[in-house]
Amino acid sequence: MNISRAAIIGTGTMGPGMGAVLGRAGIEAVLYDVSADALDRARSMVPMAEGVLEKLDAPQADGGSVRFESELPAALEGADIVMEAVPESLELKREIFREFEKHVSPEVILSSNTSGLPITKIAEACEHPERVVGMHWSNPPHLIPMIEVIPGESTDPTVVEASCDLIRLFGYHPVVEKEIPGFVENRVLYAIMRECLALVDEGIVDPEGLDLNVRWGIGYKLSVIGPMALLDMAGLDIYKAVGSYLNGALSTSSEVSSTIEERIAAGKLGMKTGSGMFDYTPEDIDRLRAERAAKFVAVRKALEA
Ligand SMILES: NC(=O)c1ccc[n+]([C@@H]2O[C@H](COP(=O)([O-])OP(=O)(O)OC[C@H]3O[C@@H](n4cnc5c(N)ncnc54)[C@H](O)[C@@H]3O)[C@@H](O)[C@H]2O)c1
């Protein structure tokens, strides 16, 4: 399946970076949003993402472009793949997938960037559910080179293959998974978050100490060696010996942490309110954003070297 044109539907946090990645890799990307303001913001976000891709020396191919459309039929015209990135609502996604089918031929792939809604449920709204697939990019999409590919119950295996081929074309790593709530990336992240917050809730470590520990302990290590390879490095017998007394002591709470609940109740939602787990001045926020963007680029280049 030759994919040369992609329509990205929804240009909020995720769409612009996705468009920049595709455009640089030689795909004609068209960005559409129902909101004129969002589309306008995307016009300035795409060049920023392109600047980051340039710093990363990301794979580049001729023939690519990024275009903006304010009408859905024009955005979908001639698309080989549709990449949906509208808000996380099953009803909205089902509705918009039904709309896509009115404008594209049956062989066009319809992908969803859902963070964990069932692909099968989205596909059930379609006349051709076999061409529906989950393609879950990680945020920021122009920096994190891994995409989860999730077939629904009716997805044609050739659609999964074509999605993976496209992802490899722009130099990212596809990971094919079975459909499960939250998919793999968020399940692992939320398992880590639950334990981290339980340790902070119980006063075992303060938030600064927790971040230092995780960044320089498992964080640094896991960016070089994945958990399965780490088992081999440590020894499966060692994991068994520790896991047999430690697993039972880990948090299994299905409640959201009291630290989170208390801060939310106090209006502390994070950087966007100037305070969350930590406090931020506007200058701190600018400095941290710039520092983190530079580190993401440097670390990815080091890991790819
Ligand atoms: N933000 C993240 O960190 C992240 C990471 C991975 C996946 N996702 C997933 O990607 C999807 C998009 O997330 P986001 O954070 O970019 O959302 P967002 O709210 O920032 O942007 C969504 C955009 O979709 C537009 N939109 C709403 N209805 C529309 C319609 N009918 N047609 C076209 N555009 C429409 C909105 O105007 C908005 O600009 C969600 O499913 C989300 O779960 C988000």
Q: Is 121 exposed, middle or buried (0-12, 13-18, 19+ CB in 10 A)?
A: middle
pLDDT in tens, 5-64: 999 999 999 999 999 999 999 999 999 999 999 999 999 999 999 999 999 999 899 999
Q: Could you give the angle at the alpha carbon of 77 between the alpha carbons of 163 and 9, nearest 5°?
A: 60
Q: Whose CA is nearest to atom 1 of ligand 1?
A: 13
Instruction: Label residue 1 by pLDDT band (50, 70, 90).
Output: confident
How far is ligand 1, taken at its centre, from the CA of residue 269, in Å? 20
- Beta pairing, strands 81-84 & 109-112: parallel
**Ligand 1: nearest atom to the Cα of 95:** 31
Mean pLDDT (the chain) is: 97
pLDDT in tens, 235-262: 999 999 999 999 999 999 999 999 999 9
The residues near 229 (Cβ < 8 Å, ≥ 6 apart) are none
Q: What is the CATH number of domain 186-255?
A: 1.10.1040.10
Per-residue model confidence (pLDDT) at position 2: 85
H helices within 80-179, ranges in order?
Answer: 90-103, 119-123, 157-169
Instruction: Using DSSP, state whether 18 is helix, strand or coil.
Output: helix
For atom 28 of ligand 1, the residue with the nearest CA is 86
Choice from 37, 40, 86 to test ligand 1 binding pocket (greatest atom count within 8 A of CB): 86
Residue 77 three-state SS: coil
Distance 241 CA to ligand 1 centre (A): 44
The CA-atom distances, in angstroms, between 173 and each of 20, 87, 163, 213, 218 are 17, 24, 11, 28, 22
The domain ranges of the chain are 5-181, 186-255, 266-305
pLDDT digit string (tens) for 201-227?
999 999 999 999 999 999 999 999 999
Distance 178 CA to ligand 1 centre (A): 23
| Domain 5-181, CATH homologous superfamily name and number | NAD(P)-binding Rossmann-like Domain (3.40.50.720)
Report residue 68: phi and psi, to 5°: -115, 135
pLDDT confidence of residue 120: 98
Residue with tokens 């709204």: 125
